[in-house]
Amino acid sequence: MNVYDFQVKNNKGELVSLSKYSGKVLLIVNTATKCGLTPQYEALEALYQKFQTEGLEILDFPCNQFLAQAPGSDEKIEEFCTLNYNTTFPRFTKVNVNGKDADPLFVWLKEQAPQDLADEEAKSFEKKIKVIKPFAKPGDIKWNFGKFLIDKNGNVKARYSPAYKPEQLEKDIQELLQL
């Protein structure tokens, strides 16, 4: 099984097979529009602009599970991201990433990479948010902007902490693009 075996709904409600992205490097991110990490959209778009022509796709999955920081409809989220951050990467319908109603894609992603890579800043952030919202179980996504890096064959190569800055992923993305 790999990421291409999944179907998800885009933000217009249309079913999309992730096999559409076969042969590309993917960065799958659970996002929110009212979070302290929301400015990461700017860095994500910069990565997308830099590497899209080489085969990078960023897949944005809004999630309202963390203090309801992704309020509004899929249309309102699209409008916010486009107007405030000029994002051009694909956005999908709002999903749950943890718990009994977690989207199957995120259940699989967490199974493939149960632990985040994190630098000291990200670890500090995780200590703060654990006080606000304890993680239900090991492997759960800790907050908005958890990131999964997928190779061209559809396999999870790395999982990054929500506070791990997107620009820090550049080297890892380049390595996968060159394979």
Helices (H) and strands (E) counted in the chain, each on its own, are 5, 6
Query: For every one of its 179 residues, what pLDDT tens digit does the chain have, with 9 covering 90 and above?
Result: 999 999 999 999 999 999 999 999 999 999 999 999 999 999 999 999 999 999 999 999 999 999 999 999 999 999 999 999 999 999 999 999 999 999 999 999 999 999 998 889 888 888 888 766 666 677 899 999 999 999 999 999 999 999 999 999 999 999 999 98
What are the beta bridge partners of residue 30?
A: 61
Q: CA-based angle 109:156:169, to the nearest 5?
A: 110
What's the predicted TM-score (pTM) here?
A: 0.95
Catalytic residue numbers read 35
Q: What is the CATH number of domain 3-178?
A: 3.40.30.10
* Boundaries of every domain in the chain: 3-178
Query: Residue 127 has what pLDDT?
Result: 81
